Amino acid sequence: MTTTAQPSVDGSSLGARSAAHLWGHFARHGEGITPPVITRGEGVRIFDDRGRSYLDGLAGLFVVQAGHGRVELAEAAARQAKELAFFPVWSYATPPAIELAERLAAYAPGDLNRVFFTTGGGEAVESAWKLAKQYFKLTGKPMKHKVISRAVAYHGTPQGALAITGVPALKQMFEPLTPGGFRAPNTNIYRAPDEDLAADPKKFGRWAADRIAEAIEFEGPETVAAVFLEPVQNAGGCFPPPPGYFERVREICDQYDVLLVSDEVICAFGRIGSMFACEDFGYQPDIITCAKGMTSGYSPIGAMIASDRLFEPFNDGSTTFPHGYTFGGHPVSAAVALANLDLFEREGINDHVKTNAPAFRATLEKLHDLPIVGDVRGEGYFYGIELVKDKTTKESFSDAEAERILRGFLSTALFDAGLYCRADDRGDPVVQLAPPLIAGQSEFDEIEQILRSVLTEAYTLL
């Protein structure tokens, strides 16, 4: 996925200065490209250096759950920095890290009571794979090291997390990767392999889950350590789980003694509704990875939350998990996370999402009447709109058309129309939406109206 930036106003602008020194992530550079410069946020809106306002339809990057401009979160950071700005959790502890670990364990389902802090989601995924490998070595199954994930799924950019990622274009430049990552089909029922499966979500869910069992059998159960799945798969455009899917996956993992990792870097902290989305879909993982929404983006932090069973081999007074991050469990970030979770509870943000999610779905589904809209899918406040060339045949864009329509037109046109979201082609072309969790019907209507206008124009360019 690449983002085409907007032109700067003049040579002395912040955009031009950025183009001279700032190396943007997943961004194109050169040829006169300069990035938009976002200077301020307030509620559900962001503002650029020209004073223009935009609806933040992606919560920054699935992050700003509580909205922009929350002074109490900034104040929590300042208070903690005055008391203790930094100390590592390498054989030491700090009060904010202790309290946050307790809080996360209380929210997590079942016996997921052990919290290992990181500074982001990719690191949490990396940590989970390393834990799975060492756990099986410590428990007499040293061959178990492989992981199964899904086609087109994104799990991060560190070398291990990248091996779990199922997007070939993101991996080619960095091969050879950490060995051991293998793929099973995802849950995109819109692209189900036959009409029979497409017509029966429960049957499709069983089919997709059984492909995981097939992959474990093919690789050898004695070699497979974990299955990594997002509750709602991000890359490819927000694939929800079909009915019965996770129930069957849990059965498969238990049958083959394989750990089930719920990668909730995006889906946790209210994005689907509950604090952890595995509870929205009724399954019990062995590990949860999380990050983005934990602080609503006000300070970086991530976590791997593991079950008591996985911690047991390390609880003998001598065995260590030889892995860590300098800034993992940073006291300032932990303090901000605690303030953010307080805010969630005080304002009932999870209930707000659960109450308003049907209206968000219904508003986006109005776009089905556009000839370029093939599918509208997602859960909670996390949606993808798949774009097609032909609605009847579900024909997608060619590579050249995707370049012209998504990057050459949509990315700029949506932003210019006042909506920040993501036009993405990791898999089939989609527009992704994940507004701050405080958004309501007026924001849903604004999103739909902007999309309707811009997508209508986009179709004329095919």
The string of DSSP codes covering 18-45 is HHHH---TTB--BTTB----EEEEEBTE
Per-residue pLDDT of the chain (462 residues; tens, 9 = 90+): 444 444 444 445 898 899 899 999 999 999 989 899 999 999 999 999 999 999 999 999 999 999 999 999 999 999 999 999 999 999 999 999 999 999 999 999 999 999 999 999 999 999 999 999 999 999 999 999 999 999 999 999 999 999 999 999 999 999 999 999 999 999 999 999 999 999 999 999 999 999 999 999 999 999 999 999 999 999 999 999 999 999 999 999 999 999 999 999 999 999 999 999 999 999 999 999 999 999 999 999 999 999 999 999 999 999 999 999 999 999 999 999 999 999 999 999 999 999 999 999 999 999 999 999 999 999 999 999 999 999 999 999 998 999 999 989 999 999 999 999 999 888 899 999 999 999 999 999 999 999 999 999 999 998
* Residue whose entry in the numeric block shows the structure tokens 């050459």: 408
Q: Please name which of 56, 54, 6, 41 lies closest in space to residue 27, comparing C-alpha atoms.
A: 6
DSSP string, 122-149: HHHHHHHHHHHHHHHHHTT-TT--EEEE
14-69+349-461 CATH = 3.90.1150.10
Nearest alpha-carbon partner for 293 in 261, 335, 332, 340 = 340
Decide the pairing of beta strands 422-424 and 430-433: antiparallel
pLDDT recorded at residue 7: 43
- Burial-class residue 96 by CB neighbours within 10 Å (0-12, 13-18, 19+): buried
Q: Is 119 helix (H, G, I), strand (E, B) or coil?
A: coil
pLDDT of the residue at 12: 53
DSSP secondary structure letter of residue 418: T
Q: At what angle are helices 331-347 and 95-107 packed, to 10 degrees?
A: 40
The Cα–Cα gap between 68 and 74 comes to: 11
| C-alpha torsion sign, points 438, 444, 446, 451 | positive
Burial group, residue 216, by CB count within 10 angstroms (0-12, 13-18, 19+): buried
The fold of the 72-347 domain, in CATH, is Aspartate Aminotransferase; domain 2 (3.40.640)
Place of tokens 């989609």: 430
Q: With H, G, I as helix, E, B as strand and everything else as coil, classify residue 382.
A: strand
Domain ranges of the chain: 14-69+349-461, 72-347
Residues 217, 114 contacting (CB under 8 angstroms): no
DSSP state of 390: B
Same fold, 14-69+349-461 and 72-347: no
Contact 312, 107 (CB under 8 A): no
Pairwise CA distance, residues 81 & 83, whole Å: 5
CB 196 within 8 A of CB 231: no
Which residue reads 């930036």 in tokens? 5
Kindly list the strands in the beta sheet with 45-48, ordered across the sheet, starting from the edge strand earlier in the chain: 38-42, 45-48, 53-56, 419-420
Q: What is the pLDDT of residue 426?
A: 87
Mode of pairing for the β-strands spanning 53-56 and 146-150: unpaired
Q: How far is CA 140 from CA 165, 258, 358, 393, in A?
A: 28, 14, 48, 52
For residue 147, give every residue at least 6 positions away whose Cβ sits within 8 Å of its Cβ, in sequence order, or none.
129, 132, 163, 164, 180, 181, 182, 224, 225, 226, 227, 228
The whole-model pTM stands at 0.95
